[in-house]
Amino acid sequence: MTEFQKKYDALRAAFEQTLSDRLGALSFKPSVLDESFRYSLQLGGKRLRPVLMFAAAQMLGGRIADVAPLAVALEMIHTYSLIHDDLPAMDDDDFRRGQPSSHKKFGEGQAILAGDALLNYAYQICFEECKKGRTYLNAALLIAKNAGALGMVAGQAADLFWQGQEGAGEREYEFIAQNKTAKMFMSAAAAPAYVYGADENTAAILLEYGKNLGLLFQITDDLLDVGGDFAKLGKTVGKDEREKKVSAVRIYGIGYCETKADHYCELCCKLLSDLPYECGFLEELTRTVRSRER
Amino acid sequence: MTEFQKKYDALRAAFEQTLSDRLGALSFKPSVLDESFRYSLQLGGKRLRPVLMFAAAQMLGGRIADVAPLAVALEMIHTYSLIHDDLPAMDDDDFRRGQPSSHKKFGEGQAILAGDALLNYAYQICFEECKKGRTYLNAALLIAKNAGALGMVAGQAADLFWQGQEGAGEREYEFIAQNKTAKMFMSAAAAPAYVYGADENTAAILLEYGKNLGLLFQITDDLLDVGGDFAKLGKTVGKDEREKKVSAVRIYGIGYCETKADHYCELCCKLLSDLPYECGFLEELTRTVRSRER
């Protein structure tokens, strides 16, 4: 196991502990809501966004604990989006991380509500932590903007709008990838800078880094949809083509996607090197996203 | 037109202006999201929750402008819940306020996203206003708690769970009504007290008033479902019975529902009279909810 992998696992484990502590203190009624709320959060996954947030906090000289509640909130928002995305009226996927998706397990109505509950709770955490005196306001605003109609939801709406339609090209793909995927990475990467009140330049570079890491993530996601396999991904593959989704592979072709992925990867590393911090871990994280699951 | 009606209309008009000003400054992409976001918000309705919040603010000696952004946020949360509630997997209603519901107009996927966008945006407003220096933090936390898995969503999940099932009784009905309906009224009634930092007793009474007003609203809603008509309500009637929903009429019968409604109405007025403020408008508002639409 490499030093990078050890550190990634440690950050992920720290996140799992934080999440588990918080969930342990919660109890919702009715029991179906309690179960559906926990189920999707605890399916695990790489926890890439929380790990990114923790790593950015450490890079800036801070501690995991400084941003841990924000990381939980962001992961709740990410999880709500997956639950709603998997619904038959959206991306219609029966599996998530190798397990039945929320609506297959709890029914569509309860899945919609599980997503709604996670979204509300994510913001409840932000308000609670602000009340405790944490300097979370700017970061929470960043997260809310990037999650909603000026961010992720806009990307999802465009993605859904163009699915199966003719005429979507590079511009539409870029809009979808930037909003649906990259804005959540921007929140993860830059939130710690907002929490610490870092200078504007640092925040701007972390936002730009997050954006390009998100674009890299999306393009490798699209490549995996044609080249990946279910056992590794835990979700259905080959859907983009079957359902005529706006995917990088359909717009650019596999070869140019690989080139673009390399470009985003290098751009990320360049941005990190512009920061006056030790960025070795984030650089390796970037390269791992580039070469993931294959 | 009575003095009460004049004042209600003035408060509602003030809310419409606030909402319209805010929406005027917004522009979302893709256009389907921009439309779906505005559509459900602008279907109108009685605007009972914002009017309640404004009236409570005025009763406490404040101004509409003090809580206007919070009222918009609360109405956005209410509107998201209606959009999701109308979905086929939930309450399955094709009409809302006499118009096609969101999923009939934009499709199910876009309706889910319109709701998600409204919910995210409601909290974005709260963070923005906190950042501008408003004392909204406690009120925003109240709103988030009462909207999510400890409030409205819990009520919706229980409502959906029990629909069509045998065995739901008084306890289940009370849980659903208190969470799904009353908690949003609690937020509306008590938020101004939190904004002004009113004493605990005032906040507690307003919370209790909001709760009982919400219970009154729900029981009259259930009575209207058996006795109302589509032209006045703008939504399908007779659904509770057909779909074996947990309704007050099914649990208590019409006669006892009327008795209970009177009880909640009197309790609300008693609570208001315990406050050292001029509460004539809220008292009339309560009586109007008791006798509404018939």
**d(Cα B109, Cα B12) in Å, to the nearest integer?**
31
- For residue A227, the model assigns a pLDDT of 81
Residue B120 and residue A153: Cβ atoms within 8 Å?
Answer: yes
Residues of chain A contacting residue B145, judged by C-beta atoms under 8 Å apart: 124
Tell me the three state secondary structure of residue A291: coil
Which residue is closest to B120 within chain A, CA to CA?
A148
Q: Are B33 and B109 in contact (CB under 8 A)?
A: no
DSSP secondary structure letter of residue A82: H
The pair of three-digit structure tokens given for residue A124, joined into one six-digit string: 């409840």
The closest alpha carbon to A35, from A45, A23, A46, belongs to A23
Tokens 């799904």, residue?
A: B180
Which residues on B lie below 8 Å from A130 (Cβ)? Answer: 130, 137
CB pairs under 8 A, 24+ apart, for B228-233?
B228/B293, B228/B294, B230/B95, B232/B293, B233/B293
pLDDT, one tens digit per residue, over B161-182 is: 999 888 899 999 999 999 999 9
Burial string for B172-197 (b: 16+ CB within 10 Å, else e) reads bbbbbbbbbbbbbbbbbbbbbbbbbe
Which backbone phi and psi does A99 adopt, to 5 degrees? -115, 165
| Structure confidence by residue, pLDDT tens digits, B205-237 | 999 999 999 999 999 999 999 987 776 667 777
Residue B107 with chain A: CB contacts under 8 Å: 89
Report residue A7 as tokens: 């550190």
Interface of A with B in 168-187 (CB under 8 A): 175
Looking at the DSSP assignment, which residues form a beta bridge with residue A99? Answer: A96
Query: Domain range for residue B241?
Result: 3-290
Number of structural domains found in chain A: 1
CA angle B136, B142, B143 (to 5 degrees): 85
> Considering chain A, what is the average pLDDT of its residues?
95
Nearest to A112 among B84, B107, B141 (CB): B84
DSSP assignments along chain B, one per residue: --HHHHHHHHHHHHHHHHHHHHHHT---SSHHHHHHHHHHHTT----HHHHHHHHHHHHTT--HHHHHHHHHHHHHHHHHHHHHHHSTTTT--SEETTEE-HHHHH-HHHHHHHHHHHHHHHHHHHHHHHHTT-S-HHHHHHHHHHHTTTTHHHHHHHHHHHTT-S---HHHHHHHIIIIIIHHHHHHHHHHHHHHT--HHHHHHHHHHHHHHHHHHHHHHHHHHHH--HHHHSS--SHHHHTT---HHHHH-HHHHHHHHHHHHHHHHHHHHTSSS--HHHHHHHHHHHTTT-
Q: Which residues of B touch A141 (CB under 8 A)?
A: 124, 127-128, 131
Cβ contact, residue pair B113, A157, below 8 Å: yes
Which residues from chain A sit within 8 angstroms of residue B130, using beta carbons?
130, 137
Contacts of B33 in chain A (CB under 8 A): 149, 153-154, 157-158
Interface of A with B in 132-171 (CB under 8 A): 137-138, 140-141, 144-145, 147-150, 153-154, 156-158, 160-161
The identity of residue B74, as a single letter, is L
Provide the 8-state DSSP code for A181.
I
46-105 of A, contacting B, C-beta below 8 A: 80-81, 84, 87, 89-90, 103
Q: Which of A82-86, B30-34, B94-98 has the lowest mean pLDDT?
A: B94-98
Q: Which of A155-164, A208-217, B137-146, B235-244 has the lowest mean pLDDT?
A: B235-244
Shortest alpha-carbon distance between residue A220 and chain B (Å): 24
Tens of pLDDT, residue by residue over A81-114, are 999 999 999 999 999 999 999 999 999 999 999 9
- Rg of chain A in Å (alpha carbons): 18
> Residues of chain A with pLDDT > 70: what percent?
97
Contact B123 A137 (CB under 8 A): no
A87 contacts B157? CB cut-off 8 A: no
For position B231, what pLDDT does the model report? 67
Q: For testing the chain A interface, which of B28, B29, B124, B184 should be mutated: the one with the most A CBs within 10 Å?
A: B124
The CA distance from A43 to A244, in Å, is 28
A10: domain CATH number?
Answer: 1.10.600.10
CA distance A71 to A62: 14
Nearest CA in chain A to B159: A30
Question: Which is more confidently placed, A101 or A45?
Answer: A101
Predicted confidence at residue B83, as pLDDT, reads 98
Nearest CA in chain B to A125: B141
In B, minimum Cα distance to A81 occurs at: B116
Dmax (CA) for chain B in angstroms is 51
**pLDDT value at A207 more than 80:** yes
Query: How would residue A233 be classed by pLDDT, with cut points 50, 70 and 90?
Result: low
Q: What gap in Å lies between CA A291 and CA A279, rounded to an integer?
A: 19
Higher local confidence (pLDDT), A66 or B243: A66
Nearest by Cα to B45 from B71, B77, B78 = B78
pLDDT tens readout for residues A71-83 = 999 999 999 999 9
Measure A140 CA to nearest chain B CA, in Å: 7
